[in-house]
Structure 1
């Protein structure tokens, strides 16, 4: 797909539920952005990325909480050769949760016009980011110190690493306990120690740290 002027080595992957509206958006983007474009079913796993860089345009309107967590985890595995662009982002979607996405590069809200969507995609393709002024200000006000503590420096145990990976999948404390055959109180104790070791305050920051520091 795309035209002869597409940027080599880069692809735009529209991740949503297949529909007439999705197909229409795909065709509109094909005529507006200089990238090869493909539609990917949001309910199917992400295949191996073969392009030099993939821009994932992720339709937030079509994802529930568990699907969001699943795609965040998948994105973390490929963070070196992809960028995340959130489409139809709810206006009340918390900034810390946006920041938790690996390689987040653009956020588009339903109120934005098509011209802004095209401008944002082209900006990311050029190596830039496309955020609102409010979100940019939020990012500038974040110290982000927890990101600078590497996995090797953290001293986390193998069990704590397992719990981190379950968090990346969106699992609750009860679900983690069932998956690892331990009590819920033990999970809470591990989380307390884990958060202290990697200097984070909540699960969202822990997932963000894991996406930056853990391979799987």
Structure 2
């Protein structure tokens, strides 16, 4: 699973992304906050370059966006050294971690980031594997969902009641961390093997 790097567009964000992605050999993707390609659970971690975000005039909106991120591992880097206590306390959460402020050296930033990404990797993989274990029936229904057919059609094709299909859909959405059929279909196309005819 890739690591998602959130930053504002611009030279500073590009340079920091290049430094981090070249120094830490992982699969990386860069995006602006809220404009990533996949649902957040597609990523093993989210790294947020906070410099321009928290030093801009719209801090309360950015804090709201960061608080609304639904992911177990959010790593904040490059935040202003003089981060106001109120801002820091608003961002305190079990899934949000302050890694390095803007005054640290490149070596310190990379060391702290490497430790944060590596220390949780084993536990996170096991947790993710358990959460994403879809039953065979759920996988069948998810494959059918990619066709775009209605629940009634899927139910008829699999010899199930429509209510059963809806229950399975609810469980699938919860397990893979999506909110609608389109996201589930996209997730299935990325993660499930094609069904044998």
Q: TM-score, normalised by structure 2?
A: 0.48
Q: TM-score, normalised by structure 1?
A: 0.45
Whose Rg is larger?
2
